[in-house]
Structure 1
């Protein structure tokens, strides 16, 4: 539920309902059963990684007929009570020793597979950090320092994973190599713009053909200087793109677009026409917010691209260049910038939250704003402009009672943004 003591608001409640609908559409228990393959002659071995991996494994256990074994890795506090598939918890978004140990254990689970066996790989957002298998000569500390630098740099998820996939022996098709000669079937919940299979969890069962030199070029573009061990590995990486077996299958079972479509239908059911602006929107969070504010104001004042009352929806993954030591995440930063750009415009409400329930590294999913938010901030003696300059969006929204808190959602289809634009005074608004 929303944190703080904000008065109940039907429009905020509707936005929260749309967010909950998007999350529910991507729950493993809904997405896994229709995608399960036929049982093999031999063993069925389940592996995987991501924030939803344990919930996905539990869904497999509930719906699989026959023996099961295997191991999946998920974020700390995202476990599930699996009985036949092992669950290990590890660090995210910065890898830790638990992740390295769990990845080694996963490799051992795949030892001795045969062509009669089925390897069922379950992937979701967060898998890149959780499948921690640094190459020879690269220490955990080196990997952690690079991860922190990438996360603070304002890099897109594509740039981050372009580097990560060359610094884990499980990524860029590495897990697929371990699965030979078994049949390999991957079920994936996408958290990346464009749903690129090689990008989800850095492609453990697929490859994009990139090299370590591509990763170095990305670091150079971001202004990040890698430590010598990382540079040496990327310059001399002996492993090319893994050759994935021809029989391998990859199935996308949930995506940002699917979640937005579910929310759009829920908005229409509530009497609000809706428009999906895009499911793969990237860029600096505050810049994306400025564009969204412009579209919302155009709708409010001129009925374009949709006449109010209406709801604008979007997804994707913005980024934040961290310049200060405040607390927050990309969704709450987006909302701070949106609040600034709207400049107190009446009749516009918005919610932005991460569908995994974690915005940045904090315990909140995101936040919500309305026409009353500037007044509530003034009453608390706080400034949106100052909070934005200090990357301190969580503190701001906690003070005005507008945080959206869900706890772990056990899925991840990236960011969710919804902007509700009321009808002009005198026009009839949809019933709540």
Structure 2
């Protein structure tokens, strides 16, 4: 394929992955039996509003009310469920107010009511309700530290659950004696239910663990109130088995993209839906696999597309003020590893439409990426060292902009070897 054809094909794969996780397409078949009383909808995440709308459309004859919170700009019109907006990835006052309203709404549910919890990626930051003596200001500082820490998402969630009144099962406890059913879109490597939005409807499985190593990792900037809570293990909660239903996962989206590739005569190879680690290291490793395909036909013969998902991390140096997210950093590292190989193009994007804190979902690279940068006087290695991958691809005009997709099954990566 030439570059325009390759780029169009990669965009088609991304669109298939996003569509496979669209709540309007997948939520209705996961709904429980209709309640005798009301359906009280609560929820948080980048997909919370679109999920609430899907519930309303699926159950026009049910008495539905409730409130959900989503990221600024991710709201959609609803008729019976109130939609609030707040900040992500760093919490704000609007998120705290939304968390209090969600808690109040859950507490008001009766024994004949169904509390339908709609959870998706971003729910943890969007629904902050700090455990005393922690303040919201303390919680905001903790979130900033976590974003810069380089910790894996599972370790971040260990901390978030311990510091919250709602997470780690707090929302489910508030809803008693109502029945609670959770519908979730997974943005978590491995699809651990307790990690999605930090598990507000599930007991904290790590409540008994010693988190002193994470406290030490975060260092002296960690607020004293947070340090105190994290060093005092909570008692594990017991109760009825939670009703938790995944409606969309990274694996489902990768499979949908693979079907599109097969239909186009391109062999898909799924490398995993739970890849973690430093984004730049993942780019180097994936580059080696792609070059092996191009030169030796292993582990798959071309034309082929290497598909992967998960959530890598970017450890930001204190002296690197660059802009970028994990997908653009991965791609910049990948481009350096490929060294302009004529047969390889790649796309990486966050399926929610926002890579890190920027407005782009990700970017595309091709055989000419490094040469074009050189012609403009841009040294790719310097941009990578400065964690400035967004600026690099912005100057090449190869960013992928989807806008908010209203779903989130984490990162989508595709390397085309033709």
* Residue pair 1:173, 1:244 contacting (<8 A) in 2 also: no
* Residue pair 1:131, 1:168 contacting (<8 A) in 2 also: no
2:256 to 240, 262, 265: 262
Distance 2:299 2:209 in 1: 43
Distance 2:218 2:232 in 1: 21
* Residue pair 1:298, 1:304 contacting (<8 A) in 2 also: yes
Determine whether 1:50 maps to 2:15. Answer: no
CA gap 1:398/1:361 in 2 versus in 1, 3 angstroms: same
1:14-413 alignment, distance < 5 Å = 14-64=9-59, 65-211=61-207, 214-221=210-217, 223=219, 225-236=221-232, 240-246=235-241, 248-323=242-317, 324-413=320-409
CA gap 1:394/1:212 in 2 versus in 1, 3 angstroms: farther
* Residue pair 1:293, 1:342 contacting (<8 A) in 2 also: yes
Distance 1:256 1:58 in 2: 22
Distance 1:171 1:212 in 2: 15
CA gap 1:336/1:244 in 2 versus in 1, 3 angstroms: farther
Higher mean alpha-carbon deviation, 155-164 vs 351-360, is at 155-164
Secondary structure of 1:108's aligned partner: helix
Distance 1:414 1:214 in 2: 28
The structural deviation recorded for 1:8 is 6.7
Distance 1:41 1:344 in 2: 62
CA gap 1:224/1:79 in 2 versus in 1, 3 angstroms: farther
TM-score by length of 1: 0.93
Distance 2:331 2:396 in 1: 13
Secondary structure of 1:283's aligned partner: coil
Aligned alpha-carbon RMSD (Å): 1.5
Distance 1:95 1:41 in 2: 36
Distance 1:282 1:136 in 2: 32
Distance 1:89 1:240 in 2: 33
- CA distances 1:114-162 after superposition (whole Å, capped 9, x unpaired): 2211011100000111111001111111111111111111111111111
The structural deviation recorded for 1:222 is 5.0
Count of aligned pairs between the two proteins:
414
TM-score by length of 2: 0.96
Secondary structure of 1:99's aligned partner: helix
Distance 2:204 2:161 in 1: 10
- CA distances 1:262-321 after superposition (whole Å, capped 9, x unpaired): 000101111101100000000000111111011001111111110011100000000000
* Residue segments in structure 2 that go unaligned for 5+ positions in a row: none
Distance 2:139 2:208 in 1: 15
Higher mean alpha-carbon deviation, 338-347 vs 386-395, is at 338-347
The structural deviation recorded for 1:190 is 0.1
